[in-house]
Amino acid sequence: MLPASDLSHALRGLRFAQAIHVHQQIGSTMDEAKALTEAGAVEGTLVLAEEQTAGRGRGGRAWLTPPGSALALSVVLRPNLRAEHAAWLTMLAGVAVCEAIEQTTIVRAALKWPNDVLIGGKKTAGVLIESALRGDELEYAVLGVGVNVTEAPPPEAVDYPATCVQAEAPQPVDRLALLRSVLARLEARYAELNSDTMFTDWRARLTTLGQWIEFREGAETVVALAEDATMDGALVLQLESGTRRRLFAGDVRGIRSRTLTTQ
Ligand code: BTN
Mean pLDDT confidence for 40-62: 96
Count other C-beta atoms under 10 Å from residue 124's C-beta. Answer: 27
Mean pLDDT confidence for 99-103: 98
The CA distance from 263 to 256, in Å, is 21
53 CA to centre of ligand 1 in angstroms: 12
pLDDT for residue 263 is more than 50: no
In short, whether 92's Cβ falls inside 6 Å of ligand 1 is: no
pLDDT for residue 221 is more than 70: yes
Mean pLDDT confidence for 136-141: 97
Percentage of the residues of the chain whose pLDDT score is greater than 70: 96
In short, whether 123's Cβ falls inside 6 Å of ligand 1 is: no
- 59 burial (CB, 10 Å; 0-12 / 13-18 / 19+) is exposed
Confidence at residue 49, expressed as pLDDT on a 0 to 100 scale: 97
- For the stretch 37-50, pLDDT in tens is 999 999 999 999 99
For a pocket test of ligand 1, which of 128, 151, 186 has the largest count of ligand atoms closer than 8 A to its C-beta?
128
- For the stretch 12-39, pLDDT in tens is 999 999 999 999 999 999 999 999 999 9
Closest C-alpha to ligand 1, atom 11: 144
pTM of the model: 0.94
In short, whether 50's Cβ falls inside 6 Å of ligand 1 is: no
In short, whether 233's Cβ falls inside 6 Å of ligand 1 is: no
Confidence at residue 2, expressed as pLDDT on a 0 to 100 scale: 59
Confidence at residue 48, expressed as pLDDT on a 0 to 100 scale: 97
243 CA to centre of ligand 1 in angstroms: 34
239 CA to centre of ligand 1 in angstroms: 31
Look at strands 45-49 and 19-23 and give their pairing: parallel
197 CA to centre of ligand 1 in angstroms: 25
Q: How many CA atoms lie within 13 A of 202 on its CB side?
A: 29
DSSP string, the chain: ---HHHHHHHTTT-GGGSEEEEESSBS-HHHHHHHHHHTTPPTTEEEEES-BSS-B-GGG-B--B-TTSEEEEEEEE----BGGGTHHHHHHHHHHHHHHHHHHSS--EEEETTTEEEETTEEEEEEEEEEEEETTEEEEEEEEEEEESS-PPPGGG-SS-B--HHHH-SS---HHHHHHHHHHHHHHHHTTTTSHHHHHHHHHHBTTTT-EEEEEETTEEEEEEEEEE-TTSPEEEEETTS-EEEE-S---EE--S------
Whole-angstrom CA distances from 43 to 164, 187, 196 are 29, 11, 24
245 CA to centre of ligand 1 in angstroms: 29
Confidence at residue 8, expressed as pLDDT on a 0 to 100 scale: 85
Mean pLDDT confidence for 163-192: 97
Q: How confident is the model at residue 4 (pLDDT cuts 50, 70, 90)?
A: confident
pLDDT for residue 260 is more than 70: no
Closest C-alpha to ligand 1, atom 16: 144
On the question of a cis peptide bond just before residue 155, with omega within 30 degrees of 0, the verdict is no
Determine the straight-line distance between the first and last CA of the chain, rounded to whole angstroms: 58
Q: Is residue 142 a contact partner of residue 30, using CB atoms and an 8 Å limit?
A: yes
Confidence at residue 259, expressed as pLDDT on a 0 to 100 scale: 54
Give the atom of ligand 1 at the shortest distance from the alpha carbon of 116: 2
Q: What is the average pLDDT value for the chain, to the nearest integer?
A: 94
Q: Is residue 149 a contact partner of residue 166, using CB atoms and an 8 Å limit?
A: yes
73 CA to centre of ligand 1 in angstroms: 8
Measured over the CA atoms of residue 59, residue 61, residue 64 and residue 65, the dihedral's sign is: positive
